[in-house]
Amino acid sequence: MTRLDIDGLAWSFEPRSPTARWLLREVDLHVASGEFVGLIGPNGSGKTSLLRCAYRATEPDKGQVRLDDDDLWQRTSRWCAQRIAVVLQEFPQDFGLTVHDVVSMGRTPHKGLFEGDTPHDAQLIVEALGQVGLVSSAAHAFATLSGGEKQRVLLARALIQQPQLLILDEPTNHLDPRYQLELMQYLRSLGLSILASFHDLNLAAAFCDRLYVIDGGRIVANGTPEQVLTPSVLHKVFGVEALVDRHPLHAYPRITWITR
């Protein structure tokens, strides 16, 4: 099992400028082994920037990002790709690739330069497509899929990396309610260390062990959904009043935004 530790992280477009605007400041965030942690905050708060630092796409100007006891920036990108899988909001250019082709790319960090798919790889691809309900679409062109189907393909690609840490940026953004719930239930069942950003706070409340709230590039609250999703925190961060009560069937908070 793997843990993620982010300590004292700061990042700016112009870190050496005396007028630098720090997009991330003094960020501490921790994901324990097997823990599902959610990152929430308003648009422009720094969620995606923080995730990019967490999966070694953007090097922070200050602080550390460690996977267990390894500093990511003291390791190669290949080493990180063998341990961290990422599912982003935007879809990659497909260049005419099929669904099978896109999913198989998840095995790349584990292969040599000219090494092809092994029988084990082929089995993993079939299993991953089955897990996201797209076995029958393996030969379809990726470009022809709906947004929700593309999101599920990218999750399958991440899964066959066999990661120790899974990072997701708005994983349910393109999915209808059925697949949102199925995806979240499936992610919970994996037992992986997971860090995911959310706009849907009710989904975050239902499935995350802990939440971090980011606003203006700083972590302003963290804890269990019950500790974090309070009317005062929500009003301060999102600028909207909310009714927070208990879900009628489960023991987690339910948020109803109040319109005036």
pLDDT digits (tens, 9 = 90+) for 203-234: 999 999 999 999 999 999 999 999 999 999 99
Residue 112 has pLDDT above 80, yes or no: no
The type of residue at 22 is: W
Range in 4-8, 52-56, 114-118 the model is least confident about? 114-118
Give the per-residue pLDDT at 25: 94
- Higher pLDDT, residue 208 or 143: 208
Taking 80 as the threshold, does the pLDDT of residue 14 lie above it?
no
pLDDT tier at 20 (50, 70, 90 boundaries)?
Answer: low
Mean pLDDT of the chain: 91
Q: Give the pLDDT confidence score for residue 210 in this predicted structure.
A: 98
Considering the entire predicted model, what is its pTM? 0.91
Q: What is the pLDDT of residue 53?
A: 96
Neighbours of 134 (CB within 10 A): 20
The rounded Cα 137 to chain-centroid distance in angstroms is 25
The predicted pLDDT at position 18 comes to: 66
d(CA 53, CA 8): 12
pLDDT for 259: 84
Which position has the token pair 């302003």?
Answer: 220
What CA–CA distance (Å, rounded) separates 67 from 259?
42
- The predicted pLDDT at position 117 comes to 76
Question: How many CA atoms are closer than 13 Å to the CA of 257, on its beta-carbon side?
Answer: 10
Cα–Cα distances in angstroms (integers) from residue 25 to residues 50, 51, 164, in the given order = 10, 14, 27
pLDDT greater than 70 at residue 1: no
Q: Bigger pLDDT: 64 or 91?
A: 64
Neighbours of 95 (CB within 10 A): 9
Within a 10 A sphere around the Cβ of 82, how many other Cβ atoms?
17
Which of 23-32, 71-80, 115-124 is the least confident region?
Answer: 115-124
